[in-house]
Amino acid sequence: MSRLEEYRRRRDEFFRNHPNSPLLPEQKERFKGLNYYPENPELRFVVELDRDAVSHDPVLLATTTGEPKEFIPAGKITVTIEGKPVSLVVYREVGRGRYFLPFRDATAGKETYPVGRYLDPQETPDGKLVVDFNYAYNPYCAYNDRWTCPIPPAENVVDVPIRAGEKSYPDYVSVQPFSFTIEGSEEQAP
């Protein structure tokens, strides 16, 4: 079993059985596993984090419930996907040091969660970042509406499809639909 397959197996186990699973009890009863793209080694990158490309002042990212959440821009990365350069801002969570990359690509709303997905880049000993989109995951609000999730900012909305990582979850449970705004156009989440 590959490292990615083991990660996905453990993630399914967490969703199915753990008390901190984002799924509601009735969703756990129906849970058959998360949906993923096949592993794509071309969407794994080891890149420099351009720390000088952003201000390091805290910023507020909009969330799915309207309560902004504070993050610190850590830098910008650039990767090539389908022959196109893609630049994304990487953040650090205030009070948690880990890197956080919220993004929305051309698959959003078609193959993946409409609001976007997340990735947690890992730092190498020499200070580079491992950005492996095969580990891209849905925010908890992709499963039901009891969660508050940061919305990827406009600078992390890209027009190329990133067909790696987690796909849409078909068993979304909502009391009320919500809307969100990216680049000035309002959209409805499921």
**Mean pLDDT over the full length of the chain:** 91
**116 exposed, middle or buried (CB, 10 Å; 0-12, 13-18, 19+)?**
buried
Sign of CA pseudo-dihedral 11, 131, 116, 70: positive
pLDDT of residue 68: 93
Q: How far apart are CA 86 and CA 90, in angstroms?
A: 13
pLDDT of residue 180: 57
Mean pLDDT value of segment 29-46: 96
pLDDT of residue 145: 86
pLDDT tier at 172 (50, 70, 90 boundaries)?
confident
Sign of CA pseudo-dihedral 166, 112, 119, 146: negative
What pTM does this model have? 0.88
Sign of CA pseudo-dihedral 128, 100, 98, 21: negative
pLDDT of residue 97: 80
Judge contact between 101 and 152, C-beta under 8 A.
no
Token duo for residue 14 = 């967490």
**80 exposed, middle or buried (CB, 10 Å; 0-12, 13-18, 19+)?**
exposed
pLDDT of residue 186: 52
pLDDT tens digits for 108-167?
999 999 999 999 999 999 999 999 999 999 999 999 888 889 999 999 999 999 999 999
Judge contact between 61 and 69, C-beta under 8 A.
yes
